[in-house]
Amino acid sequence: MSRPKHSVINEMRKVAAPKSDHRCFSDLLALASSLEFFHTFFSDMASVFIKIICRPENFRLTYEELEPVCNYSEKTLRAYCKKFAATYLSEKIRFRSLPLPLLIAHFFEFDANRFLHFNIPALRTFNAAELEQIIETFPAAAEDKQLSRFIYARYIQNSGRKII
């Protein structure tokens, strides 16, 4: 039949893609939060979320072609996609209202989550230069930018992990 043409699903795919444009940082956080929600409360849906939203090799597949990949019927996949989109939009609104230091803190929370880090290609490919550019260009007060850099430094210091 048809490919998932839902505009929000396509937006989510763009955000999840490994070569994602990180201009809208809050969208990446909304995507990670959405996947975390489904992984925590509906693990079967999280698996479908990953296959439909986070796997670029599946982007061109129709709902019918996704049936054997996801092991669910076309009708179920369509219903799941509606739930994925609604959750993402809700999280997107929430994250767009947060100040920069909280966004940075959430980013490190999601980056430290192995499940999310492994399954969202954009999280894996995120680098320090992109993070610094986000902090620099984000419309925030100088104090918020300084606090964001402090959060970044503490994360590196405490975790021993580095965003390359």
Q: What is the pLDDT of residues 86-109, one digit of tens each?
A: 999 999 999 999 999 999 999 999
- Residue range of the domain that includes 139: 7-159
By residue count, the chain amounts to: 164
Q: Is residue 64 part of a domain?
A: yes
Number of domains in the chain: 1
Task: Please tell me the predicted confidence (pLDDT) of residue 98.
Answer: 96
Give me the chain's average pLDDT, please.
90
pLDDT band for 2, please (50, 70, 90 cuts).
Answer: very low
Q: Is residue 68 part of a domain?
A: yes
In this predicted structure, the answer to whether residue 3 has a pLDDT above a threshold of 60 is no
Write the pLDDT tens digit of every residue in 136-155: 999 999 999 999 999 988 88
Q: Is residue 99 part of a domain?
A: yes
Q: Is residue 119 part of a domain?
A: yes
Task: Please tell me the predicted confidence (pLDDT) of residue 102.
Answer: 97
Q: Is residue 46 part of a domain?
A: yes
Q: Is residue 55 part of a domain?
A: yes
Q: Is residue 1 part of a domain?
A: no
